[in-house]
Copies of this chain bind each other. A is one copy, B any other.
């Protein structure tokens, strides 16, 4: 019998928080079994040669929207494939009731099993869900979600108060198929309940509330002003219609409530200097509150100074080049703690119509390493181990997957992205391994691509070929410290 199932030899291993070290890695039963200067090739059934490659812990893409615009089963297959091609080995996707997604309402005790049943047949990568409670009844399920459901992170969408996803109509409640308001009163009660459950279970990991911080009432006024007097540059108009200062406003609103509710907060997809400064400011003003600040690949990789059409519409909007530069500084000085894709793929036809009614969002999960290595490491000198922190160790930690995921440690899941940091490629639709029919990044060049992805010791992507199968992925119950011994 072999001592290891697989050994990854001769690579430079990227240890989050620690640094890069040339060393071999042994894998047994899907877990890391050894880290050694020279693990004998014949000690393993299979040898992966990583000469001239960097061995990163598999990325944890902690902001994803699988099944939002297309049938879940289909979308999970195609988009977890895209993830796998990009070195992502775990996806944490958002889910809510109402239109789109499963197009259902009801208790999560009933809907979650259905969601998981479909998911388990479809994902190539491991996965989990953040859940958005939409009703009072949902709030009562939070403790069950944590202890039974394996869901330890929740979400609140500020904009649904008045706006649908597209931001076009006030019929949000119909769209959400609910009766109750989506307002600060509901949010406060939501925070109180998350806080209560957090106090009970925080020894296993922080139970937190993710918030999309934009103020829809302000947006209605600012969007109307831009619509009345457009510049004609769509992504600038869209950014002005939802200006950064309303992110600042919304972040302050959420932070003050969180202070009084004692609720841990994940500030999602901070798009602008003002948003990051607001996040920093509330973190300093309210040290008793746990705030996590998240950045996205598209806010780091795209700016509205580029020539973008309305397929790049996303909420919050793509901002200016100066904002992009500020986000990179905030990432490098450790204010932004996680980088995510916020992957959500509308059919191209839902990107049609006018700027104000077409769907927001687009995919990006497969660019997790290319964007961070090109723009971070090559262009701005971000150390590789910091990249592994923001796309793997930190998301795993803050979302209660650590050290099962996100750690290069004996006993952790053997999830790896083996990356050629010097490989250069131009973006084509094929290179994204997605069902999405468009991409704002088409034609752009990135340097730094994974060529092998390993999930729990199994190769799922290699040299351009998808090797994994739908159903390879497992649902990871969180907090892992509660659900796994």
Chain B residues near A428: list those with CB within 8 A: none
Cβ-based interface call for A35 (8 A): yes
Cβ-based interface call for A117 (8 A): no
Are B217 and A21 touching (Cβ within 8 A)?
no
Taking the closest CB of chain B, its distance from the CB of A295, in whole angstroms, is 19
A35 touches which of B186, B215, B217, B410 (Cβ 8 Å)? B410
Are A34 and B33 touching (Cβ within 8 A)?
no
A259 to B244, CA, bound (A): 13
Chain B residues near A220: list those with CB within 8 A: 183, 185
Are B186 and A221 touching (Cβ within 8 A)?
yes
Q: Taking the full assembly, how many copies of this chain does it contain?
A: 4
Interface size class of A (residues with CB under 8 A): 35 or more
Cβ-based interface call for A52 (8 A): no
Taking the closest CB of chain B, its distance from the CB of A70, in whole angstroms, is 33
Chain B residues near A32: list those with CB within 8 A: 37
Stretch at the interface among A126-134, A245-253, A435-443, A462-470: A245-253
Stretch at the interface among A11-19, A74-82, A264-272, A446-454: A11-19
Stretch at the interface among A22-30, A297-305, A358-366: A22-30
A28 touches which of B37, B185, B219, B256 (Cβ 8 Å)? B37
Known A-B contacts A26-B36, A221-B189, A409-B21; A252 and B245 likewise in contact (beta carbons under 8 Å)? no
A324 to B409, CA, bound (A): 35
Chain B residues near A218: list those with CB within 8 A: 184-185, 188, 257
Cβ-based interface call for A407 (8 A): yes
Chain B residues near A256: list those with CB within 8 A: 245, 248-249, 252
C-beta contact mask, A184-221 vs B, less than 8 Å → 1, else 0?
11101100000000000000000000000001011111
Nearest B-chain residue to A13, judged by Cβ = B410
Are A222 and B188 touching (Cβ within 8 A)?
yes
Chain B residues near A179: list those with CB within 8 A: none
Are A33 and B36 touching (Cβ within 8 A)?
yes
Taking the closest CB of chain B, its distance from the CB of A361, in whole angstroms, is 24
Are B34 and A184 touching (Cβ within 8 A)?
no
A34 to B26, CA, bound (A): 10
- Identify which of residues 17-68 in chain A touch chain B, using a CB-to-CB cut-off of 8 Å: 17-19, 21-23, 26, 28, 31-40
Cβ-based interface call for A284 (8 A): yes
Cβ-based interface call for A230 (8 A): no
Are A184 and B217 touching (Cβ within 8 A)?
yes
Chain B residues near A224: list those with CB within 8 A: 185
A411 touches which of B17, B22, B184, B248 (Cβ 8 Å)? B22
Chain B residues near A16: list those with CB within 8 A: 17-18
Cβ-based interface call for A403 (8 A): yes
A18 to B220, CA, bound (A): 45
A15 touches which of B21, B33, B257, B409 (Cβ 8 Å)? B409
Nearest B-chain residue to A161, judged by Cβ = B217
Are A188 and B37 touching (Cβ within 8 A)?
no
Chain B residues near A17: list those with CB within 8 A: 16-18
Nearest B-chain residue to A39, judged by Cβ = B34
Nearest B-chain residue to A185, judged by Cβ = B221
Among A18, A19, A21, A40, max chain B CB count under 10 A is at A18
Taking the closest CB of chain B, its distance from the CB of A190, in whole angstroms, is 10
A16 to B410, CA, bound (A): 14
Chain B residues near A15: list those with CB within 8 A: 409
- Identify which of residues 392-411 in chain A touch chain B, using a CB-to-CB cut-off of 8 Å: 402-403, 407, 409-411
Taking the closest CB of chain B, its distance from the CB of A186, in whole angstroms, is 7
Are A215 and B184 touching (Cβ within 8 A)?
yes
Apart from the given pairs A35-B36, A184-B215, A185-B219, 16 other A-B contacts in the complex at a CB distance below 8 Å: A16-B17, A19-B402, A19-B407, A19-B409, A21-B411, A32-B37, A34-B37, A35-B410, A37-B410, A37-B411, A181-B217, A184-B249, A188-B222, A189-B221, A252-B256, A253-B253
Which 4 pairs from chain A and chain B are nearest by CB? A34-B36, A185-B221, A17-B17, A184-B217
